[in-house]
Amino acid sequence: MKFLRPILVFACCLVAAAGASAQLSLTPPATPAPASKPAAKKETPKETSKEAPKKEAPKPKAPAVAKKPAEKPAATPKPAATPTPAASPTPTFDDPNVDLVYGAYQRGLYKTALELALTRAQYAGDAKAMTMIGELYSGALGVKRDYARAIEWYQRAADAGDREGMFALAMMKLSGRGGPVNREQAVKLLASSAKLGNPKAAYNLALLYLDGQTLPQDLRRSAELLRVAADAGNAEAQYALATFYKEGTGVPKDIDKAVRLLQAASLADNVDAEVEYAIALYNGTGTPKNEAAGVALLRKAARQNSPIAQNRLARVLTSGQGAPMDKVEALKWHIIAKTAGKGDPALDEALAELSPDDRARAQEMARKWIGNDKK
């Protein structure tokens, strides 16, 4: 399952810090890079908030080989029964590795997932099945959206100790879906979920300490929670903590640690981290200089529609530093970045000398890219 993305307050808090070093040393001189929003993305595009952990399917045991009784050689041994699929959709509860509910959810069989989850919740007290039911009602998956019922099942899952149910319920209360906003209860649920090792809960709680509205601002506590989530592999937390180390927010300033965290988040496909790490590689900041690797990562981020990456790539292609000069492609990316609100007067000037034919080619390439992106 996918999760709710982090609350939007984080974009405002880190916007100034993120852009301090996001500038390439290129010709023509680069204008100061705007703030790269840290992970202000919500943990899921849906209105849902947790993820039932995957469980391995059970390995069928080989049927036992029947042995002939020693004292009755004439007797015919009774063969062991071969395991066969059950005709009923009701799951068995004696094997904890069986997760038919999540399997049905993954295949988009939401009604089946609901039936199986209800059975597991009612007859086995399965807390994760309760969270799944909340997910289905919250996301209108196989059923009509019903936030009140989703909250009811999330609450039951939270009471049963499921950290994902706690997190989902906290995000519902923060957003006011299914009832009034209740930040106090949301904070308690996030803290409980984080204590049980949920990195998403730790990350969102860190944002609340950073924001200073729901909770008193505490940059050190925010950094501690970000570290917990980052160590658990949460890419958004890794990117945010990298910004903390880069600026010395709540932690001692440490560019090397910042770059290592950017690298980790980049490997997890965090686009903002890809851009920052690409620039660090290109300029040799906190890591050995590698212009080719930096440009390759800029290309990747540009294709993922990062306007900053598109702008930086256009500069590289205009100057020919770190990649072969290609002003037609540079103009293409410049046009695309401008369309997304990332204008650059220096590039306007540098690319003004292109011939009408080259400009027409670049404009057509940009038009196709923008058209495909909107489809």
Task: Tell me the β-bridge partners of 5.
Answer: 42
Question: Token pair of 333, please?
Answer: 């990316």
Does residue 80 lie within any of the structural domains? Answer: no
Does residue 3 lie within any of the structural domains? Answer: no
Q: How far is CA 218 from the centre of its chain?
A: 25
- Cα 165 to Cα 185: distance, rounded to the nearest angstrom: 14
Q: How far is CA 323 from the centre of its chain?
A: 31
Check pLDDT > 60 for residue 356.
yes
Position 372 scores a pLDDT of: 78
Selected residue with higher pLDDT from 210 and 21: 210
Alpha-carbon dihedral of residues 333, 235, 219, 284, nearest 10 degrees?
A: -50
What value does the mean pLDDT take over residues 291-309?
97
pLDDT digits (tens, 9 = 90+) for 93-139: 344 444 899 899 999 999 999 999 999 999 999 999 999 999 999 99
Categorize the per-residue pLDDT at 283 as very low, low, confident or very high, splitting at 50, 70 and 90: very high
- Cα 318 to Cα 337: distance, rounded to the nearest angstrom: 14
pLDDT digits (tens, 9 = 90+) for 47-93: 333 344 343 444 444 333 334 334 444 444 443 333 333 333 333 33
pTM of the model: 0.72
Peptide bond into 28 cis (omega under 30): yes
Phi/psi-derived region of residue 250, left when phi > 0, alpha when psi is between -120 and 50, beta in every other case: left
pLDDT digits (tens, 9 = 90+) for 225-243: 999 999 999 999 999 999 9
Does residue 204 lie within any of the structural domains? Answer: no
Does residue 156 lie within any of the structural domains? Answer: no
Residues 6+ apart with CB under 8 A from 137: 143, 145, 146, 147, 149, 150, 153
Structural domain that includes position 309: 290-375
Position 375 scores a pLDDT of: 52
Kindly report the average pLDDT of the chain as a whole number: 81
Percent of the chain with pLDDT over 70: 73
- Cα 5 to Cα 27: distance, rounded to the nearest angstrom: 38
- C-alpha distances (whole Å) from 364 to each of 159, 344, 360, 361, 368 are 58, 20, 6, 5, 6
pLDDT digits (tens, 9 = 90+) for 14-37: 433 344 344 444 433 343 343 334
Structural domains in the chain (count): 1
Does residue 118 lie within any of the structural domains? Answer: no
Q: Residue holding tokens 């592999």?
A: 233
Does residue 67 lie within any of the structural domains? Answer: no
Position 99 scores a pLDDT of: 80
